[in-house]
Protein backbone atom coordinates (compact mmCIF):
# COMPACT_ATOMS: atom_id res chain seq x y z
CA UNK A 1 0.00 0.00 0.00
CA UNK A 2 2.79 2.33 0.77
CA UNK A 3 4.14 4.68 -1.83
CA UNK A 4 7.36 5.34 0.04
CA UNK A 5 8.91 1.98 0.99
CA UNK A 6 12.23 3.35 2.23
CA UNK A 7 10.58 5.89 4.50
CA UNK A 8 8.18 3.21 5.66
CA UNK A 9 10.98 0.82 6.59
CA UNK A 10 12.66 3.59 8.56
CA UNK A 11 9.47 4.40 10.45
CA UNK A 12 8.94 0.67 11.13
CA UNK A 13 12.47 0.25 12.45
CA UNK A 14 12.03 3.28 14.70
CA UNK A 15 8.76 2.02 16.09
CA UNK A 16 10.05 -1.48 16.64
CA UNK A 17 13.18 -0.34 18.39
CA UNK A 18 11.21 2.11 20.55
CA UNK A 19 9.01 -0.78 21.58
CA UNK A 20 12.04 -3.01 22.16
CA UNK A 21 10.89 -5.49 19.55
CA UNK A 22 13.29 -6.96 17.08
CA UNK A 23 10.79 -8.05 14.52
CA UNK A 24 10.19 -11.35 16.27
CA UNK A 25 6.60 -12.34 16.90
CA UNK A 26 7.21 -12.35 20.63
CA UNK A 27 3.58 -12.31 21.62
CA UNK A 28 0.73 -14.78 21.58
CA UNK A 29 -0.05 -16.03 18.09
CA UNK A 30 -3.61 -15.58 16.88
CA UNK A 31 -4.51 -18.67 14.88
CA UNK A 32 -6.44 -17.88 11.69
CA UNK A 33 -9.65 -19.42 13.02
CA UNK A 34 -9.71 -17.27 16.14
CA UNK A 35 -11.89 -14.18 15.90
CA UNK A 36 -10.04 -11.02 16.98
CA UNK A 37 -12.02 -9.55 19.82
CA UNK A 38 -9.86 -6.81 21.28
CA UNK A 39 -8.86 -4.09 18.87
CA UNK A 40 -6.39 -1.23 19.07
CA UNK A 41 -7.73 1.64 16.94
CA UNK A 42 -5.58 4.42 15.51
CA UNK A 43 -6.89 7.68 14.07
CA UNK A 44 -4.58 10.14 12.32
CA UNK A 45 -6.53 11.44 9.33
CA UNK A 46 -6.28 15.15 10.13
CA UNK A 47 -5.33 17.23 13.16
CA UNK A 48 -6.00 14.82 15.99
CA UNK A 49 -3.90 11.83 17.00
CA UNK A 50 -6.13 9.33 18.77
CA UNK A 51 -5.84 5.78 20.01
CA UNK A 52 -8.32 3.46 21.73
CA UNK A 53 -8.83 -0.12 22.82
CA UNK A 54 -12.23 -1.66 22.08
CA UNK A 55 -13.12 -5.07 23.41
CA UNK A 56 -16.00 -7.01 21.86
CA UNK A 57 -17.07 -8.42 25.20
CA UNK A 58 -16.36 -5.47 27.49
CA UNK A 59 -16.84 -2.46 25.20
CA UNK A 60 -14.50 0.50 25.15
CA UNK A 61 -11.61 -0.04 27.55
CA UNK A 62 -9.62 3.15 27.05
CA UNK A 63 -9.14 6.03 24.65
CA UNK A 64 -6.72 8.93 24.43
CA UNK A 65 -6.35 11.87 22.12
CA UNK A 66 -3.79 14.52 21.38
CA UNK A 67 -5.19 17.62 19.71
CA UNK A 68 -2.95 19.60 17.36
CA UNK A 69 -4.89 22.84 17.87
CA UNK A 70 -1.97 24.65 19.49
CA UNK A 71 0.34 23.54 16.68
CA UNK A 72 -1.86 24.80 13.85
CA UNK A 73 -3.45 27.83 15.55
CA UNK A 74 -0.66 30.27 14.62
CA UNK A 75 -1.23 29.34 10.95
CA UNK A 76 -5.01 29.82 11.08
CA UNK A 77 -5.68 26.26 9.88
CA UNK A 78 -4.26 22.78 9.50
CA UNK A 79 -0.76 22.61 7.94
CA UNK A 80 -0.59 19.05 6.53
CA UNK A 81 3.17 18.58 6.90
CA UNK A 82 3.11 19.72 10.53
CA UNK A 83 0.17 17.41 11.15
CA UNK A 84 2.05 14.36 9.80
CA UNK A 85 5.15 15.07 11.87
CA UNK A 86 3.14 15.52 15.02
CA UNK A 87 1.32 12.22 14.47
CA UNK A 88 4.75 10.54 14.28
CA UNK A 89 5.69 12.09 17.63
CA UNK A 90 2.46 11.30 19.46
CA UNK A 91 1.33 7.85 18.33
CA UNK A 92 3.68 5.76 20.40
CA UNK A 93 3.11 7.59 23.72
CA UNK A 94 -0.64 7.41 23.12
CA UNK A 95 -0.52 3.66 22.50
CA UNK A 96 1.41 3.19 25.73
CA UNK A 97 -1.10 5.41 27.55
CA UNK A 98 -4.21 3.54 26.39
CA UNK A 99 -2.73 0.09 26.97
CA UNK A 100 -1.83 1.22 30.44
CA UNK A 101 -5.23 2.76 31.12
CA UNK A 102 -7.02 -0.30 29.73
CA UNK A 103 -4.84 -2.57 31.84
CA UNK A 104 -4.26 -4.41 28.59
CA UNK A 105 -0.97 -6.11 27.84
CA UNK A 106 0.07 -5.88 24.19
CA UNK A 107 -0.40 -9.62 23.87
CA UNK A 108 -4.09 -9.23 24.73
CA UNK A 109 -4.65 -7.16 21.58
CA UNK A 110 -6.18 -9.37 18.88
CA UNK A 111 -6.03 -6.95 15.97
CA UNK A 112 -5.29 -3.41 14.87
CA UNK A 113 -7.33 -0.89 12.91
CA UNK A 114 -6.27 2.44 11.46
CA UNK A 115 -7.96 5.14 9.44
CA UNK A 116 -7.15 4.46 5.79
CA UNK A 117 -9.10 7.48 4.47
CA UNK A 118 -10.52 9.87 3.62
CA UNK A 119 -8.15 12.48 5.02
CA UNK A 120 -4.78 14.14 4.56
CA UNK A 121 -2.50 11.80 2.64
CA UNK A 122 0.63 12.28 4.76
CA UNK A 123 -1.28 12.06 8.02
CA UNK A 124 -3.04 8.87 6.89
CA UNK A 125 0.28 7.33 5.84
CA UNK A 126 1.75 7.88 9.28
CA UNK A 127 -1.14 6.07 11.00
CA UNK A 128 -1.17 3.28 8.42
CA UNK A 129 2.57 2.68 8.63
CA UNK A 130 2.51 2.79 12.39
CA UNK A 131 -0.42 0.37 12.69
CA UNK A 132 1.02 -2.04 10.16
CA UNK A 133 4.39 -2.00 11.92
CA UNK A 134 2.82 -2.81 15.25
CA UNK A 135 0.75 -5.55 13.61
CA UNK A 136 3.92 -7.02 12.16
CA UNK A 137 5.74 -6.86 15.48
CA UNK A 138 2.84 -8.32 17.41
CA UNK A 139 1.92 -10.80 14.69
CA UNK A 140 -1.63 -9.58 14.62
CA UNK A 141 -4.07 -8.83 11.79
CA UNK A 142 -4.53 -5.23 10.72
CA UNK A 143 -7.28 -3.50 8.79
CA UNK A 144 -7.63 -0.03 7.29
CA UNK A 145 -11.05 1.49 7.98
CA UNK A 146 -13.11 4.31 6.52
CA UNK A 147 -13.07 7.44 8.67
CA UNK A 148 -16.73 8.25 7.99
CA UNK A 149 -17.79 4.69 8.80
CA UNK A 150 -16.04 5.29 12.11
CA UNK A 151 -18.12 8.43 12.65
CA UNK A 152 -21.27 6.61 11.59
CA UNK A 153 -20.73 3.83 14.13
CA UNK A 154 -19.79 6.15 17.03
CA UNK A 155 -23.34 6.10 18.51
CA UNK A 156 -22.81 2.36 19.12
CA UNK A 157 -20.05 3.23 21.58
CA UNK A 158 -22.77 4.46 23.91
CA UNK A 159 -24.85 2.32 26.28
CA UNK A 160 -28.15 3.31 24.63
CA UNK A 161 -27.45 2.46 20.99
CA UNK A 162 -30.02 1.99 18.23
CA UNK A 163 -30.99 -1.13 16.32
CA UNK A 164 -30.67 -1.09 12.54
CA UNK A 165 -31.93 0.24 10.18
CA UNK A 166 -31.21 3.92 10.83
CA UNK A 167 -30.85 7.17 8.98
CA UNK A 168 -27.41 8.70 9.59
CA UNK A 169 -26.55 12.38 9.37
CA UNK A 170 -22.76 12.68 9.22
CA UNK A 171 -21.53 16.24 9.58
CA UNK A 172 -17.79 16.73 9.75
CA UNK A 173 -15.16 19.16 8.51
CA UNK A 174 -14.88 17.37 5.18
CA UNK A 175 -18.27 15.74 4.65
CA UNK A 176 -22.00 16.27 4.98
CA UNK A 177 -23.75 12.98 4.28
CA UNK A 178 -27.24 11.56 4.69
CA UNK A 179 -27.05 7.78 4.61
CA UNK A 180 -29.66 5.04 4.88
CA UNK A 181 -27.99 2.35 6.97
CA UNK A 182 -29.30 -1.22 6.91
CA UNK A 183 -26.37 -2.54 8.94
CA UNK A 184 -22.62 -2.16 9.32
CA UNK A 185 -21.20 -1.61 5.83
CA UNK A 186 -24.61 -1.50 4.16
CA UNK A 187 -24.89 2.15 3.21
CA UNK A 188 -27.08 3.95 0.69
CA UNK A 189 -26.06 7.54 0.14
CA UNK A 190 -29.18 9.72 0.03
CA UNK A 191 -27.62 13.17 -0.07
CA UNK A 192 -24.36 15.05 0.36
CA UNK A 193 -23.01 18.55 0.14
CA UNK A 194 -22.39 19.76 -3.39
CA UNK A 195 -19.85 22.32 -2.14
CA UNK A 196 -18.62 23.09 1.40
CA UNK A 197 -19.17 20.55 4.15
CA UNK A 198 -21.15 21.76 7.17
CA UNK A 199 -18.05 21.90 9.39
CA UNK A 200 -16.10 23.67 6.67
CA UNK A 201 -18.86 26.31 6.49
CA UNK A 202 -18.70 26.79 10.28
CA UNK A 203 -14.91 27.14 10.03
CA UNK A 204 -14.99 29.61 7.12
CA UNK A 205 -17.68 31.79 8.69
CA UNK A 206 -15.74 31.75 11.95
CA UNK A 207 -12.73 33.06 10.05
CA UNK A 208 -14.86 35.82 8.50
CA UNK A 209 -15.83 36.85 12.00
CA UNK A 210 -12.22 36.95 13.11
CA UNK A 211 -12.42 33.86 15.30
CA UNK A 212 -9.38 31.67 15.79
CA UNK A 213 -8.93 28.14 14.37
CA UNK A 214 -10.63 25.76 15.01
CA UNK A 215 -13.58 27.89 14.03
CA UNK A 216 -16.64 25.66 14.53
CA UNK A 217 -16.64 25.41 18.32
CA UNK A 218 -15.62 29.08 18.66
CA UNK A 219 -18.46 30.17 16.38
CA UNK A 220 -20.94 28.02 18.31
CA UNK A 221 -19.79 29.56 21.59
CA UNK A 222 -20.13 33.09 20.20
CA UNK A 223 -23.57 32.31 18.76
CA UNK A 224 -24.80 31.45 22.27
CA UNK A 225 -24.82 35.15 23.10
CA UNK A 226 -26.23 36.31 19.75
CA UNK A 227 -29.77 37.36 18.90
CA UNK A 228 -31.64 34.71 16.88
CA UNK A 229 -33.65 37.10 14.71
CA UNK A 230 -31.38 40.01 13.84
CA UNK A 231 -30.00 38.29 10.70
CA UNK A 232 -32.12 35.96 8.64
CA UNK A 233 -29.74 34.21 6.26
CA UNK A 234 -30.88 32.04 3.33
CA UNK A 235 -31.62 28.36 3.92
CA UNK A 236 -29.92 26.88 0.84
CA UNK A 237 -31.48 23.97 -1.09
CA UNK A 238 -34.73 23.98 0.87
CA UNK A 239 -36.64 25.40 -2.08
CA UNK A 240 -35.92 22.37 -4.26
CA UNK A 241 -36.45 18.65 -3.93
CA UNK A 242 -33.65 16.21 -3.19
CA UNK A 243 -31.48 15.59 -0.18
CA UNK A 244 -28.24 17.27 -1.21
CA UNK A 245 -26.83 20.19 0.76
CA UNK A 246 -25.07 23.40 -0.19
CA UNK A 247 -23.43 25.75 2.27
CA UNK A 248 -21.31 28.04 0.14
CA UNK A 249 -24.21 30.44 -0.61
CA UNK A 250 -24.92 30.78 3.10
CA UNK A 251 -21.26 31.53 3.74
CA UNK A 252 -21.32 34.18 0.99
CA UNK A 253 -24.46 35.74 2.50
CA UNK A 254 -22.62 36.11 5.82
CA UNK A 255 -19.64 37.61 3.97
CA UNK A 256 -21.88 40.28 2.40
CA UNK A 257 -23.48 41.03 5.75
CA UNK A 258 -20.04 41.41 7.32
CA UNK A 259 -18.91 43.76 4.55
CA UNK A 260 -22.06 45.82 4.80
CA UNK A 261 -21.66 46.15 8.55
CA UNK A 262 -17.97 46.98 8.24
CA UNK A 263 -18.77 49.78 5.81
CA UNK A 264 -20.55 51.50 8.72
CA UNK A 265 -18.18 50.67 11.57
CA UNK A 266 -15.74 48.00 12.70
CA UNK A 267 -17.48 44.81 13.84
CA UNK A 268 -18.21 44.94 17.53
CA UNK A 269 -18.77 41.91 19.75
CA UNK A 270 -22.56 42.25 19.71
CA UNK A 271 -22.70 42.29 15.93
CA UNK A 272 -20.31 39.37 15.58
CA UNK A 273 -22.38 37.32 18.01
CA UNK A 274 -25.60 38.16 16.15
CA UNK A 275 -24.01 37.21 12.81
CA UNK A 276 -22.74 33.94 14.30
CA UNK A 277 -26.19 33.17 15.67
CA UNK A 278 -27.87 34.01 12.34
CA UNK A 279 -25.51 31.67 10.51
CA UNK A 280 -25.93 28.88 13.03
CA UNK A 281 -29.73 29.16 12.92
CA UNK A 282 -29.69 28.86 9.11
CA UNK A 283 -27.22 25.94 9.01
CA UNK A 284 -29.12 24.03 11.69
CA UNK A 285 -32.47 24.68 10.00
CA UNK A 286 -31.16 23.24 6.71
CA UNK A 287 -29.67 20.15 8.36
CA UNK A 288 -32.85 19.50 10.36
CA UNK A 289 -35.17 19.97 7.40
CA UNK A 290 -33.13 17.63 5.18
CA UNK A 291 -33.24 15.01 7.93
CA UNK A 292 -37.00 15.42 8.19
CA UNK A 293 -37.35 14.90 4.45
CA UNK A 294 -35.01 11.89 4.44
CA UNK A 295 -36.99 10.30 7.28
CA UNK A 296 -40.24 10.87 5.39
CA UNK A 297 -38.78 9.53 2.15
CA UNK A 298 -37.30 6.36 3.67
CA UNK A 299 -39.81 5.69 6.43
CA UNK A 300 -36.88 5.16 8.83
CA UNK A 301 -37.74 5.67 12.51
CA UNK A 302 -34.28 6.15 13.99
CA UNK A 303 -31.78 8.91 13.32
CA UNK A 304 -28.13 8.85 14.30
CA UNK A 305 -26.02 12.00 14.17
CA UNK A 306 -22.24 12.06 14.26
CA UNK A 307 -19.17 13.94 13.04
CA UNK A 308 -17.69 17.11 14.55
CA UNK A 309 -20.72 19.34 13.90
CA UNK A 310 -22.80 16.74 15.73
CA UNK A 311 -21.26 18.24 18.87
CA UNK A 312 -23.14 21.48 18.15
CA UNK A 313 -25.65 22.07 20.90
CA UNK A 314 -28.20 23.89 18.78
CA UNK A 315 -28.14 21.13 16.15
CA UNK A 316 -28.56 18.46 18.81
CA UNK A 317 -31.50 20.29 20.35
CA UNK A 318 -33.17 20.95 16.97
CA UNK A 319 -32.90 17.32 15.88
CA UNK A 320 -34.13 16.00 19.21
CA UNK A 321 -37.12 18.32 18.96
CA UNK A 322 -37.81 17.28 15.36
CA UNK A 323 -37.47 13.62 16.33
CA UNK A 324 -39.91 14.03 19.21
CA UNK A 325 -42.48 15.67 16.94
CA UNK A 326 -42.22 12.80 14.41
CA UNK A 327 -41.94 9.92 16.87
CA UNK A 328 -38.39 9.29 15.63
CA UNK A 329 -35.70 8.33 18.12
CA UNK A 330 -32.52 10.40 17.80
CA UNK A 331 -29.12 9.06 18.86
CA UNK A 332 -25.85 10.90 19.38
CA UNK A 333 -22.54 9.80 20.70
CA UNK A 334 -21.16 11.99 23.48
CA UNK A 335 -19.55 15.14 22.03
CA UNK A 336 -16.02 13.74 22.40
CA UNK A 337 -17.03 10.88 20.11
CA UNK A 338 -18.69 13.22 17.58
CA UNK A 339 -15.35 14.85 16.83
CA UNK A 340 -12.42 12.70 15.67
CA UNK A 341 -11.42 9.97 18.11
CA UNK A 342 -9.76 6.57 18.22
CA UNK A 343 -12.72 4.74 19.77
CA UNK A 344 -14.81 4.93 16.59
CA UNK A 345 -11.91 3.54 14.53
CA UNK A 346 -11.39 0.70 16.99
CA UNK A 347 -15.11 -0.12 16.83
CA UNK A 348 -15.27 -0.03 13.01
CA UNK A 349 -12.11 -2.14 12.90
CA UNK A 350 -13.60 -4.57 15.39
CA UNK A 351 -16.55 -5.26 13.07
CA UNK A 352 -14.29 -5.77 10.08
CA UNK A 353 -11.58 -7.84 11.78
CA UNK A 354 -14.21 -10.00 13.44
CA UNK A 355 -15.56 -10.85 9.99
CA UNK A 356 -12.11 -11.89 8.84
CA UNK A 357 -11.12 -8.77 6.91
CA UNK A 358 -7.39 -8.27 6.65
CA UNK A 359 -7.30 -5.28 4.33
CA UNK A 360 -4.16 -3.28 5.02
CA UNK A 361 -4.59 -1.67 1.60
CA UNK A 362 -3.75 1.73 0.19
CA UNK A 363 -4.61 4.89 2.08
CA UNK A 364 -7.00 7.15 0.21
CA UNK A 365 -7.42 10.90 0.47
CA UNK A 366 -10.85 10.46 -1.12
CA UNK A 367 -13.07 7.45 -0.57
CA UNK A 368 -16.85 7.51 -1.12
CA UNK A 369 -18.70 5.85 1.77
CA UNK A 370 -21.16 4.08 -0.49
CA UNK A 371 -18.25 2.12 -1.97
CA UNK A 372 -18.08 0.19 1.31
CA UNK A 373 -19.47 -3.33 1.69
CA UNK A 374 -20.51 -5.20 4.83
CA UNK A 375 -17.70 -6.68 6.94
CA UNK A 376 -16.15 -9.71 5.32
CA UNK A 377 -17.30 -8.63 1.85
CA UNK A 378 -15.00 -5.65 1.42
CA UNK A 379 -12.44 -6.02 -1.33
CA UNK A 380 -9.63 -3.42 -1.38
O1 LIG B 1 -15.43 15.04 12.56
P2 LIG B 1 -14.42 16.09 12.82
O3 LIG B 1 -13.79 16.16 14.17
O4 LIG B 1 -13.24 16.01 11.78
C5 LIG B 1 -13.45 15.71 10.44
O6 LIG B 1 -13.60 14.50 10.14
O7 LIG B 1 -13.52 16.67 9.67
O8 LIG B 1 -15.13 17.46 12.47
C9 LIG B 1 -14.46 18.67 12.58
C10 LIG B 1 -15.42 19.77 12.20
C11 LIG B 1 -14.73 21.10 12.12
O12 LIG B 1 -15.17 21.75 10.95
C13 LIG B 1 -15.21 21.80 13.38
O14 LIG B 1 -15.24 23.18 13.26
C15 LIG B 1 -16.61 21.23 13.54
O16 LIG B 1 -16.46 19.87 13.19
N17 LIG B 1 -17.13 21.36 14.89
C18 LIG B 1 -18.20 22.09 15.23
C19 LIG B 1 -18.36 21.98 16.63
N20 LIG B 1 -17.35 21.17 17.09
C21 LIG B 1 -16.61 20.80 16.01
N22 LIG B 1 -19.05 22.81 14.47
C23 LIG B 1 -20.06 23.42 15.09
N24 LIG B 1 -20.27 23.37 16.42
C25 LIG B 1 -19.45 22.67 17.22
N26 LIG B 1 -19.68 22.62 18.54
ZN1 LIG C 1 -13.81 13.15 11.39
Fold of 5-153+339-371: Nucleotidyltransferase; domain 5 (3.30.420)
- Listed range (154-163, 169-178, 319-328, 350-359) with the worst mean pLDDT: 350-359
Q: What is d(CA 230, CA 228) in angstroms, rounded to the nearest whole number?
A: 6
The reply to whether domains 5-153+339-371 and 163-332 share a CATH topology is yes
Atom 24 of ligand 1: nearest residue by CA position: 312
Closest atom of ligand 1 to CA, residue 197: 12
Three-state SS string across the chain, please? CCCCHHHHHHHHHHHHHHCCCCCCCCCCCCCCCCCCCEEEEEECCCCEEEEEEEECCCEEEEEEEEECHHHHHHHCCCCHHHHHHHHHHHHHHHHHHHHHHHCCCHHHCCEEEEEEECCCHHHHHHHHHHHHHHHHHHCCCEEEEEHHHHHHHHHHHCCCCCCCCEEEEEECCCCEEEEEEEECCEEEEEEEECCCCHHHHHHHHHHHCCCCCCHHHHHHHHHCCCCCCCCCCCCCCCCCCCCCECCHHHHHHHHHHHHHHHHHCCCCHHHHHHHHHHHHHHHHHHHHHHHHHHHHHHCCCEEEEECHHHHCHHHHHHHHHHHHHHCCEEECCCHHHHCCCHHHHHHHHHHHHHCCCCCCCCCCCCCCHHHCCCCCCCCC
Ligand 1 atom showing the smallest separation from residue 221 Cα: 26
Confidence of residue 27 (pLDDT cuts 50, 70, 90): very low
Q: What is residue 380's predicted lDDT score, i.e. its pLDDT?
A: 64
Q: Quick one: which atom of ligand 1 is closest to the CA of 151? A: 1
Q: Which atom of ligand 1 is nearest to the CA of 313?
A: 26
The percentage of residues in the chain with a pLDDT greater than 70, rounded to a whole number, is: 90
The Å distance, Cα 199 to ligand 1 centre, comes to 5
Tens of pLDDT, residues 183-240: 999 999 999 999 999 999 999 999 999 999 999 999 999 999 999 999 999 999 999 8
pLDDT value for 361 = 73
Could you tell me which residue, 250 or 35, shows the higher pLDDT?
A: 250
Q: What is the pLDDT of residue 35?
A: 58
Q: What average pLDDT does the segment 101-125 reach?
A: 98
Q: What is the distance in A from the centroid of ligand 1 to the CA of 307?
A: 7
- Structure confidence by residue, pLDDT tens digits, 151-165: 999 999 999 999 999
From 150, 168, 308, mutation site for ligand 1 pocket: most ligand atoms within 8 A of C-beta: 308
CA-nearest residue, atom 21 of ligand 1:
308
Find the residues whose C-beta lies inside 6 A of ligand 1: 46, 172-174, 199-200, 202-203, 214-217, 220, 307-309, 311-312, 339-340
Q: What is the mean pLDDT of residues 8-33?
A: 42
CA angle 60, 62, 65 (to 5 degrees): 120
> Which listed CATH number (3.40.190.10, 3.40.640.10, 3.30.420.40, 3.30.1330.10) goes with 163-332?
3.30.420.40
Domain ranges in the chain are: 5-153+339-371, 163-332
Taking the centre of ligand 1 as the mean of its atom positions, its distance from the CA of residue 306, in whole angstroms, is 10
Quote the ligand 1 centre to 173 CA distance (angstroms).
Answer: 5
Amino acid sequence: MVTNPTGTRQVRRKILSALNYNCQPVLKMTPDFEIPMRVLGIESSCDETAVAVYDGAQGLLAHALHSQVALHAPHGGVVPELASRDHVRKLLPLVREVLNEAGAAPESIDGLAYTAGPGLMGALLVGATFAQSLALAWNRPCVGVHHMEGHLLAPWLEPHAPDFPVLALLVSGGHTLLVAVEGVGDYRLLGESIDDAAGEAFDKVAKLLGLPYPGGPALAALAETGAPDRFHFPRPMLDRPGLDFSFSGLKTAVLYAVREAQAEAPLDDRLRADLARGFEEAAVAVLAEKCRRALAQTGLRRLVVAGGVGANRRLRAALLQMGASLGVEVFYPRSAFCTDNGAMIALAGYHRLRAGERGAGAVRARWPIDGLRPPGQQTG
